[in-house]
Amino acid sequence: MLPKYEAVCYELLRPEQVEALREAAPIAYVPAGSLEWHGLQNPLGTDALKAHAICCEAALGHGGVVLPPFYQGLLGYNNWGPEGWAGFTLSFNEGPTLEAAMLGIARALVFGGWKVIVGVSGHDVAPQRDAMQRAIETATRGTQAVGLALLEGELHSPDEEIPVSMDHAGAWETSCMMYAFPDKVELDALRKRKLCTEDQLKMSGPEGIGGKNPLKYASAELGGKIIERMGELIGRKARQMLEEVAPARD
């Protein structure tokens, strides 16, 4: 994790620091991901780690705090991996389990005076986002709080500066990790196998990567652009929601 992110990480802050952030902008970000295969080059918790970094950028730019992420995402009863590499998945398996966990956190946040709850999924599957959304809606119903859940990249459309979208261990995810957790990425582990030769890779291929070839297109520079842009888009949305409930705060 980049040192600058420590300033908004709930678990690293003292009570008076959290209180000051809540007074300034009562926004709480809850990142979620998965524990599964993300190529030989990336750690198993890539989804949650990059979502957490994006949430930290949002909080640094627009206020709020970031909770520790959910690592056990929705993967079903499937311990998937490319040939010879299955067996690393740790999952909640069922939607109601994730929804119940998220509901507990969201209710505690509302009870603690947070007015905007933002769930951010780094695991690119709609059912995970939707389970988080249902939990947030239940927790905020009948209160002065609001919230939403979204995939980390769903507010983004590929453009000249960031010509990629969410993927699985491809240029998007690997770049994000190269920026936010540079010591946790090992491209040589992928390079020495000499199996990534196409520009566009499929998860059904020998490396289990879906998206643009990270050996050709991933970089820390691109990762920084992705994380900062997604943080700005999500943070701006959260701030707008806070402004809409501001009269209720007064």
Q: 70-84, pLDDT tens digit by residue?
A: 998 998 787 889 989
Residue 250: pLDDT above 60?
Answer: no
- Residue ranges of the alpha helices (H) in the chain? 15-24, 46-62, 95-111, 126-140, 171-180, 187-191, 214-217, 220-249
Across the range 146-160, mean pLDDT stands at 98
Q: 83-119, pLDDT tens digit by residue?
A: 899 999 998 888 899 999 999 999 999 999 999 999 9
Q: Hey, which CATH number is domain 3-158+227-244, 3.30.420.40, 3.40.50.10310, 3.30.70.270, 3.40.50.11030? A: 3.40.50.10310
- What does pTM read for this prediction? 0.97
Listed by start position, the domains of the chain span 3-158+227-244
Across the range 52-62, mean pLDDT stands at 99
Given a contact cutoff of 8 angstroms between Cβ atoms, the answer to whether 148 and 190 are in contact is no
Helix (H) or strand (E) holding 1: none
Residue 154: pLDDT above 80?
Answer: yes
Average per-residue pLDDT in the chain? 96
Helix (H) or strand (E) holding 66: strand 65-66
In single-letter form, the type of residue at position 20 comes to: A
